[in-house]
A and B are shown apart, each in its own frame.
Chain A
């Protein structure tokens, strides 16, 4: 059954990799720099997709975990002379361990209650990074500058290969037994336990893997920005990442790309969009008014969720279906078991 959908996926992945490889030739340095941000959001959102989209555990704490990775990289490269790229695996592993530990209290909570508990992750970690005893290492509220300033191109070629690797890793993790366990937990915990899945281990593992992704993303985030302070990782970042995953489409790894692009580009161009909308309307909207860009952002978000609740991935899937047309229907009749899972909002 897997074999049937496998070639399309691989073809799409190869195409995406090819596009990403030639993209730098066509993008200005500023856009390459923005794409480096897209890459870091992509990695963090991939982790969140595994946790929320696959294992069904809502988290509002992904941005908080990014803080851990960012500080591991900053402290090692600024104070201990490490090469910044060499710190990435360690940043991922340390953050993964923190996430794994957080998974234990999370075992007792579900749904909205879990979401509220994870809300505390960025708040607590920011407070810790600002604390007196930690300031010696973190630089406190004032933050710390990293040794290098990257050009847009340098940032691009450092982030996207890693993002690609993380994508393949996610795909490999999810296609086997672990992915199946995650999905079973998402659908029914009772069914999962009765079919022999170790609930506690699987859930904490999902948190650990998700945090590992956040750690790698946070580390790259610090390298790309060249400066880290605790408030960079405020609750808003975690919310953006969750929104990115939902906009991209829950349960779709490919959709995460769209989500990451959304996180980076929509707020950036919101004032321009407002100006553009304003012209024909002659409305009194003031593009420079505080909060106006946020309103555009919110409106687009609602529109996306309202028009295609299964996210951009769902939209693409639907488009593919109607293009594939009759042959798809035929296949459906021949192989009822190959039916794609019913899309969930």
Chain B
């Protein structure tokens, strides 16, 4: 018996050795003569499924790339078709871990792009870095996907991080409302705390203007207590640092309590068309009107961008490949814009892309995305691992249901 096992083990070792030799000298994992396989995990079902349009927006752009000829007159990236594989993880780490291993070990992806969610992506960061598989442009603004580059060289974020965004609100408040009292309602976790940290940083010497901070747990059913406390404090400005559902609830509670602060600051995650519509429906125009937020991508609903090349491409390709999709849902545009960067990076990685080359490119980015607000640069250096750091302030007009940009571009990470 022992003998048999020995033979068996030897056979396996031989087979493994053959496989290894076959791989050596061949192309990078996921890259063949005609295809390049990439993937990601997204919450297509479950509590965070409102983000499901993101991978669809990405798919539409990749389909467009596969169908059109590049400057080398070949379709796809250097003649290779992009195979975009994405799986549902339901925003749950055990699923993310399994689906990510499936992508790496069974689908043999070249790299992972745009994986969504702070905790789900944290759960696979260790694994991917151990395997040296690029985890590029994760869809979360948690600061650590940028700051952790020494420990996790194969991981990089994309959008402005939450601290940077909070800093912009702080700077704006310090400059424009130097004497106004600020009340903050925030989700008491990494996400909300990142924003609060940023706000205080931006206010600097004026951070004593914050007269109350009211935290709530995601699991809380109501935010009435927090809104009432801010109302009682007599704050002139309310800053809402919450996920969409709780933001809508906050607006509704403000209306119910007849609390009308002079100004409302709203984090960008909740400031999209879909959620603002819901806020208007659950509160009223007077409460929501004039809210301030930030943006770094074009708003598909804003007529001023209708004739830009980027927006034209987005609308044409979406109509072609995803005709049922709601074009005004900014999450499709988010996916589309991100996929533009993915294709750009893959193209720059050359005819014989390797994972190392790809990481080198995304750590030395310097270009502009056609769907970003004009002037926003995508730039990374070894000392600055955050691809997008510039934002523009935007103000909501209830009557038209539109966000309007005002002021100039602000770099949230300058001086941090």
Contact = CB atoms under 8 A, between A and B. Distances in A.
Interface of A: 25, 28-30, 33-34, 37, 126-127, 130-132, 140-143, 145, 149, 152, 221, 225-229, 231-232, 234, 268, 271, 288-291, 293-294
A227 B126 CA distance: 9
Contact of A225 (B94, B105, B215): B94
B130 A149 contact: yes
B92 interface: yes
Dominant secondary structure of chain A at its interface with chain B: helix
Contacts of A145: 122-123, 125-126
A132 B214 CA distance: 13
A130 B105 contact: no
Nearest to B55: A288
Interface in B7-61: 8, 12, 44-45, 49, 52
Contact of A229 (B52, B93, B191): B93
B72 interface: no
Interface residues of B, number: 34
Contacts of B101: 30, 33, 152
Contacts of A37: 94, 98
A33 B123 contact: no
Contacts of B219: 126-127, 130
B92 A232 contact: yes
B136 interface: no
Interface in B96-110: 97-98, 101-102, 105-106
Contacts of B190: 140-142
Given A30-B105, A141-B189, A229 B12 contact: no
A70 B48 CA distance: 24
B217 A127 contact: yes
A31 B79 CA distance: 34
B122 A130 contact: no
A140 B93 contact: no
B94 A141 contact: no
B45 A293 contact: yes
A91 B353 CA distance: 46
19 contacts: A29-B105, A130-B217, A142-B118, A143-B122, A152-B101, A225-B93, A225-B94, A226-B123, A227-B93, A227-B119, A227-B123, A228-B93, A229-B119, A231-B92, A231-B119, A232-B93, A234-B92, A290-B44, A293-B88
A232 B127 contact: no
B218 interface: yes
Given A149-B130, A232-B92, A30 B119 contact: no
B10 to A, nearest CB: 12
A238 B98 CA distance: 19
B189 A142 contact: yes
A223 B321 CA distance: 42
A25 B125 CA distance: 28
Nearest to A230: B219
Nearest to B52: A290
A227 B189 contact: no
A225 B97 CA distance: 7
Nearest to A28: B105
Given A29-B105, A232-B93, A143 B45 contact: no
Contacts of A234: 92
B218 A226 contact: no
Contacts of B52: 290
A284 B8 CA distance: 47
B354 interface: no
Contact of A34 (B45, B98, B125): B98
Interface string B113-128: 0000011001101110
B368 interface: no
Nearest to A290: B44
A231 B52 CA distance: 19
A289 B91 CA distance: 16
Interface in B164-210: 188-191
Contacts of A226: 97, 123, 126-127
B221 to A, nearest CB: 11
A288 B44 CA distance: 8
Contacts of B12: 25
Contacts of A293: 45, 88
B49 A225 contact: no
B94 A33 contact: no
A140 B122 CA distance: 14
Contacts of B102: 30, 268
B93 A141 contact: no
7 closest cross-chain pairs (CB), A and B? A227-B123, A141-B189, A30-B105, A142-B190, A290-B44, A149-B126, A229-B119
